[in-house]
Chain A
Amino acid sequence: MFENIPKNRPFDAYQSFVLDCKLYWTRRMFPELRTRYEALAAAHPPEGPKDVAELMRDDTTAQMFGWFERHMQRMKYSGQHGLAVHYDQYRADIIRELDAELPDHLLTLDPEFQQPEYYTSIDIHQHPGGVWSDEIAGYVYERGAQSTSPMLKKSQSLFHRMTDQALTRAGREVKKVVDLGCGWGGSTQPYYEDHPDIHVTGVELSAPCLRVAAMRAAELQAQNVTYRQADAIKTGLPEGENDIVTSTMVLHEMPPSHIRALFKESYRLLAPGGLSIHLDFLMRDDPFGQWVHNGHSARNNEPFMVPLNEMNIAQAHRDAGFDDVEIVAFEEFNGALSPANTAWRFPWTMIIARKAA
């Protein structure tokens, strides 16, 4: 699939260079920033992220840190050999591939679908036009996801880890799964590829992402996956049938009203005893970490990260019908949570709840 998109050494060289600079930012600039913060905080201990912002306001390393976070991502997508710029040259070839016929069962698109306003108003990840407005946006997004978390060698390994967590914690035989906000299908694929007895339904707003997800499934001749264009807060799927309802990196892209609605939809979709498990980013009880996280939210065009981080997750789950919620750190690679790992990382967190049996 997409074999007719030619290899291009200048593009690869540029993207590798940008990734190297991002890795330096991750491994060298971030620890240096923390060291400088700790020196300042020793004299003026901050109580929250606003205090840290004030403390670091004139720090040149902090200014550099912010600049590089924003602009490495801009260069990745929109620079002279950025993803969006590069693949635009092959637009016709990519669209021809995306228009290939798919097995009927794989994909249901809704030609009348109206995207929510919050989604069309912000270019998440600094992807120009978002991941929905352009026919090739799903393909570009999939290509870009290979270096979203620079400490991860393969983005796919994260999805496999999350799938393992969900299946282990389900505590029952799993037959049906719903993957909310499945994007280009990275989080859906481990279910259908590695677990042929499970049927997984991927739900997503973006038709261009769903086309890529369905094509990848078709390529693997998967019979146990269905992709559906719908809002994760109103999937239109039958209630009470699923053993697991999950999402990966979705909550922080939604305003609080929609996050609460997603928890309610998760509850509705689950069979009694079923597991709700969402992987996202929470950074609490660490003013420095919150300051960095809030900064990332602004710099990467993910403004709902902050309200998610401030939300009473347990109460939102109780309001949705769940009794308990467990918030657990997620180790995206071996050693990620070790104190020896001083590099920047996303504060990966699993939000887990179970519908009463």
Chain B
Amino acid sequence: MGMNQHPTGLPLKAEQTFFDDASTDRLLAMVMTLAAELHVTRDRLATLEMLLERGQPVTRDALDQFTPDPAQKDALDTARQTFSDALMFCTLGVEASLGAPEEGVGKFDKS
């Protein structure tokens, strides 16, 4: 993480980019880094609530080593998949509603 020196000491290779402007590549990396951390935080919060619901002590170790029961696992998996689906859906460029026709709206005008 944040590596700017290769473990073997060999020089790092040039950045691989995929978009017309490399700043898009870097911004997307920041978005995904934040999204992943948001998920980890949401998961932490959800597991904390689960510990409280069980009446168990909430400690750092209890959270780190939390093992959900089957129902809790389903809930946590569903929450994660719902979030990752919503996030990744944005990559497809699919509109959620109908906009105006590309040829314009003149045909609707009956005047």
Query: Would A81 and B40 be within 8 Å (CB), given that A9-B65, A20-B84 are in contact?
Result: yes
Interface 9-mer from A45-53, A64-72, A143-151, A275-283 = A64-72
Cross-chain contact B85 with A128 (CB below 8 angstroms): no
Tell me the smallest distance from the CB of A23 to a CB of chain B, in Å.
8
Instruction: Indicate the size class of the contact surface on chain B.
Output: 35 or more
Collect the chain A residues with CB atoms within 8 Å of residue B25's CB: 67
> How many chain A residues have a CB neighbour from B under 8 Å?
43
Cross-chain contact B16 with A21 (CB below 8 angstroms): no
Collect the chain B residues with CB atoms within 8 Å of residue A24's CB: 84-85, 88
Q: Which residues of B from 34 to 68 have beta carbons under 8 Å from A?
A: 35-37, 39-40, 43-44, 47, 63-67
Q: Which residues of B from 55 to 100 have beta carbons under 8 Å from A?
A: 63-67, 77, 80-81, 83-85, 87-89, 91-93
Does B108 have its Cβ within 8 Å of any Cβ on chain A? no
Query: Would A75 and B66 be within 8 Å (CB), given that A129-B7, A133-B7 are in contact?
Result: no
Quick one: which of A6, A14, A32 contacts B64, CB cutoff 8 A? A6
Produce 1/0 per residue, A13-32, CB < 8 A to B: 11011101100110011001
Q: Which of A6, A7, A21, A80 has the most CB of B within 10 A?
A: A21
Collect the chain B residues with CB atoms within 8 Å of residue A129's CB: 6-8
Query: Would A25 and B36 be within 8 Å (CB), given that A16-B80, A79-B1, A133-B8 are in contact?
Result: no
Quick one: which of A10, A20, A63, A120 contacts B40, CB cutoff 8 A? A10
Does A186 have its Cβ within 8 Å of any Cβ on chain B? no
A-B contact pairs, 5 of them (CB 8 A): A7-B64, A9-B47, A17-B84, A81-B40, A130-B8
Mark A residues whose CB is within 8 Å of B. 6-10, 13-14, 16-18, 20-21, 24-25, 28-29, 32, 58, 60-61, 63-64, 66-68, 70-71, 75, 78-82, 85, 120-121, 128-130, 133-134, 298-299
